Amino acid sequence: MRNKASVVLFLMMCFFILSYPYRESFWGGLVNAGMLAAVIGGLADWFAVRAIFEKPLGIGFKTAVIVRKRERIFADLIAFVNHDLLGRDNIYKILQRYSLLKLVFLYLDQSNGDKKIKNFINNLVLLMIKDSDKEKLVKILQSLVAVKIKDCQISKALVDGVLKVTAQGGETELLKNILLELERYIHNPLLKDVLAELVADVKQQYIGDGQMREMASKMLSLSEEDVARRIQKGLGTYLRSLQNQDCVERVKFKEWLEDFLNAQKNNIVVEQALADFLVAMVKDVDIKSIVDWLNETLRNNEGEIREKIDEIVDEKISLLRNDVCLQQKVEGLLQEIIINIINEKHSVLEEKMAEKLNNLSNEELVDLVESRVGEDLQMIRINGSVVGAMVGILLYLITFTVERFV
């Protein structure tokens, strides 16, 4: 375009020179006047356009505008982009007009986004597991679990869980199994032998108050085995009675247990003891066994791991497509994430623009601007020559008319 503008100006100058000898005639004067005005207009616009980028004809007054006004141009450009074109408020308004979740669904449907997400997650998980120092990873997990245990109110959570089970009648089956196990233990022959030895010791220690003498007198008339069997039978009968939910002793025991558990909710000593116990259990884990298990699992179940990850991704995507409430939450979350990124990184835009612009030399800046708007400016030169020619012809006609008829 720059060459075309120069060619147009050259042609106008040629027509002016060629028509000059015929300027006394009407048509020669008409063409000569038009071409003269076209040359003047073209030269003026050429000077104006070149003055934006350089010093035409070596004239430095108010020329080389881009270089001379470099800092101001940069400041205004950065301010325009950061505060107007890409200002926070404008970006927020644009975000509100679009659904980010629809863009996500569009990506999933038209770009095989679900497969790409699955591949990314699969590769990431397997890479983390395979290439990581598993022993170090287990130790880190141990530390994290230990810290989490100390931060949690374990005793309160444990007590609340037991009380909830108790309130729902869940302790019935548990207590029944415990009582049955105790009853089997009580009828164990070994226990009978132990009880017989205790009875023999009591007989030997026939001393003390009246109650002890009365009890010992009754036992003296029986063999140690008979007394042991009676004790076992009595304990068995008592344990069977406790299996009845309406048993007075069982009701009292349940009430006592609830009171005891409630009292332990805020017991600092119990809380600390539980925490120390669990932390010790975590730290006593055999790291080598876990690492060996991880390696073996990866070798034998990589395909299953991939299938499980794919299944989870499909499940979550399907849930997101069908749950309107979840969509609203995700949309809000995406908007919040984008807004937070904008708030955090918006100042970086100004810094990067300033850095990029300041790194440009004057020559590079001139070339950059000229490459973007050069064609439009050269079109102005052509228009200047054309408009100049039209004005010159019009003025000639007016002058010719006035001279001939007025």
**Residue 293 within a domain:** no
Is there a domain that residue 389 lies in?
Answer: yes
What are the φ and ψ backbone dihedral angles of 49, each rounded to 5 degrees?
Answer: -65, -45
The pLDDT tens digits of the residues spanning 293-343 come to 766 776 667 777 788 888 888 888 888 888 888 888 888 888 888 888 888
DSSP for 134-163 reads HHHHHHHHHHHHHHHHHHS-HHHHHHHHHH
Residues of the chain with pLDDT > 70, as a percent, come to 70
Asked whether the predicted pLDDT for residue 162 surpasses 70, the reply is no
What are the DSSP calls for 57-82, one per residue?
GG--TT--HHHHTHHHHHHHHHHIII
Cβ(196)–Cβ(227) under 8 Å?
yes
Question: What is the Cα–Cα distance from 21 to 121, expressed in whole angstroms?
Answer: 85
Give the end of a domain, one of 248, 268, 288.
268
More confident residue, 213 or 165: 165
Q: Is residue 132 part of a domain?
A: no
Residue 169: the pLDDT is 62
pLDDT of amino acid 127 = 72
The pLDDT tens digits for 164-203 are: 766 666 556 666 666 677 777 776 676 666 667 776 766 6
Residue at 273 is within a domain: no
Q: Is the pLDDT of residue 383 over 80?
A: yes
Residues 6+ apart with CB under 8 A from 264: 155, 159, 270
pLDDT tier at 390 (50, 70, 90 boundaries)? very high
Token pair in block for residue 302: 């990589």
Contact 394/30 with Cβ under 8 angstroms? Answer: no
> Pick from 237, 268, 299: which residue ends a domain?
268
- Work out the average pLDDT over 97-107: 84
pLDDT of 221 above 60: no
Residues 6 or more apart whose Cβ sits within 8 Å of residue 104: 113, 334
pLDDT value for 298? 67
More confident of the two residues 357 and 154: 357
- Residue-range definition of the domain harbouring residue 232: 165-268
What the block records as the tokens of 128 is 């983390």
| pLDDT score of 134 | 60
Give percent above pLDDT 90 in the chain.
Answer: 1
Over residues 207-216, mean pLDDT: 51
Mean pLDDT of the chain: 76
What are the φ/ψ torsions at residue 207 (nearest 5 degrees)?
Answer: -145, 170
- Look at residue 235 and tell me if it is in a domain: yes
pTM over 0.85: no
203 vs 43, more confident: 43
Q: What is the pLDDT of residues 7-36, one digit of tens each?
A: 888 888 898 898 888 888 889 889 888 999
Average pLDDT over residues 216-228: 60
Q: How far is CA 292 from the centre of its chain?
A: 33
Whether 308 maps to a domain, the answer reads no
- Most trustworthy range by pLDDT among 131-140, 284-293, 395-404: 395-404
Going by pLDDT thresholds of 50, 70 and 90, the confidence category of residue 214 is low
* Alpha-helical segments (H) within 132-247: 134-151, 154-167, 171-186, 189-204, 210-220, 224-242
Residue 370 lies in a domain: yes
For the chain, the domain total comes to: 2
Q: Which tokens in the block code for residue 363?
A: 């020559």
H-run or E-run covering 121:
helix 113-131
For the ranges 9-13, 66-70, 277-281, 284-288, the one whose mean pLDDT is highest? 9-13
Which of 225, 241, 268 is the last residue in one of the domains?
268
Is residue 274 situated within a structural domain?
A: no
- Please choose, from the candidates 335, 351, 360, the residue with its C-alpha nearest in 3D space to the C-alpha of residue 91: 335
